[in-house]
């Protein structure tokens, strides 16, 4: 496994990696790797060879009052985990390599990023799209792997990729969860013991919705009431938003139809967590994947 810290070197290695009929796969991350990230790497390894993984804590996607400074950084352990999985390239540039002095350009996907995560975290998605566009340009992978955990992010990146003819295909992978259902996240490291217990309410609330849907409930108001009932029973959890949205437009829907997501963000202690479930039509009913 080759560890690369500069854009010039990564471009050269990626050009080499794409030669002939080889299929270059790419997994962008911010490090502090857990099984969620590693599931993306395994998916990439199944479908592609060689595989590149980036580790870059992107300052542009953190708001001024967010956790950029304390975001967990575990580079040596990350490298060992990626090496063990057979990754070919780790791209870990310092911030000034990605944003040299005088950097001025950003990319915005209109209309999909103003609500939900975008409302609570102004500028967040612009930071994500800008860095991912740069990474796509540097690596030019055939396939790129993202988690459904960040459903709005992946929808925005799919739009950017289509709009700008970026030539990489985005593969969306399932959410990997802890044994008690908590979606894996680098930010789970911030949770103390009480927070950690309370945090399972997010998963439990989505499961409650899944049960209601399997009983035939399709009304959005009633499904969200059920979700709120579970969340409100957990005093350690302060919901930020909970919505059922069309999977394509990310606009709220009144009742289940077509593909949609139930999206959820909440503060647990000082930590902000997100989670979601995918709702898909299945014959006359709907299947909910948590
Ligand atoms: P991050 O390091 O948080 O920027 O995440 C990098 C990639 O890993 C993104 O595509 C995330 O959606 C994905 N990811 C993070 N957590 C999970 C999880 N629990 N299951 C699946 N994918 C995840």
Distance 251 CA to ligand 1 centre (A): 23
Atom of ligand 1 nearest to the CA of 33: 2
Mutation to probe ligand 1, out of 26, 27, 29 (largest number of atoms < 8 A from CB) = 29
Which tens digit of pLDDT belongs to each residue from 38-54? Answer: 999 999 999 999 999 99
Residue ranges of the chain whose pLDDT lies below 50: none
The 3-state DSSP class for residue 52 equals strand
Q: What is the pLDDT of residue 257?
A: 86
Atom of ligand 1 nearest to the CA of 28: 6
Q: How far apart are the first and last CA of the chain?
A: 34
Q: Whose CA is nearest to atom 18 of ligand 1?
A: 36
Ligand 1 proximity of 147 Cβ (cutoff 6 Å): yes
**Nearest Cα to 17, choosing from 102, 68, 81, 91?**
91
Tokens of 88: 């070919």
Q: What is the pLDDT of residue 6?
A: 98
- Whether the predicted model's global pTM rises above the 0.85 cut: yes
Distance 219 CA to ligand 1 centre (A): 30
Q: How far apart are CA 256 and CA 219, in angstroms?
A: 7
Question: For residue 101, what are the CA distances in angstroms to 61, 97, 141, 156, 230?
Answer: 18, 9, 27, 27, 48
Q: What is the pLDDT of residue 250?
A: 97
Ligand 1 proximity of 155 Cβ (cutoff 6 Å): no
Q: Which residues are catalytic?
A: 37
């Amino acid at each position: 496994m080759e560890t690369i810290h500069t854009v010039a070197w990564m471009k050269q290695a990626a050009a080499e990696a794409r030669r002939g009929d080889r299929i270059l796969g790419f997994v962008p991350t911010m490090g502090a790797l857990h099984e969620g990230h590693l599931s993306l790497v395994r998916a990439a390894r199944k479908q592609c060879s060689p595989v590149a993984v980036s580790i870059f804590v992107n300052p542009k996607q953190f708001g001024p009052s967010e956790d950029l400074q304390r975001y967990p950084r575990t580079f040596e352990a990350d490298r060992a985990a990626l090496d063990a999985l057979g990754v070919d390239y780790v791209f870990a540039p310092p911030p000034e390599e990605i944003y040299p002095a005088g950097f001025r350009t950003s990319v915005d996907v209109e209309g999909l990023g103003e609500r939900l995560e975008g409302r609570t975290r102004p500028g967040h998605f612009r930071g994500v799209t800008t860095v991912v566009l740069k990474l796509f340009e540097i690596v030019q992978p055939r396939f790129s792997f993202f988690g459904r955990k960040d459903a709005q992010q992946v929808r925005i990146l799919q739009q950017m990729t289509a709009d700008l003819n970026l030539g990489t295909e985005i593969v969306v992978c399932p959410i990997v969860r802890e044994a008690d259902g908590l979606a894996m996240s680098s930010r789970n490291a911030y949770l103390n013991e009480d927070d950690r217990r309370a945090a399972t309410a997010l998963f439990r609330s989505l499961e409650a919705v899944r049960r209601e849907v399997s009983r035939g409930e399709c009304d959005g108001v009633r499904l969200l009431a059920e979700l709120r009932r579970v969340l409100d029973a957990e005093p350690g959890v302060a919901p930020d938003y909970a919505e059922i949205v069309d999977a394509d437009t990310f606009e709220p829907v009144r009742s289940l139809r077509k593909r949609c997501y139930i999206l959820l963000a909440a503060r647990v202690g000082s930590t902000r967590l997100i989670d979601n479930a995918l709702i898909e039509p299945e014959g006359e009913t709907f299947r909910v994947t948590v």
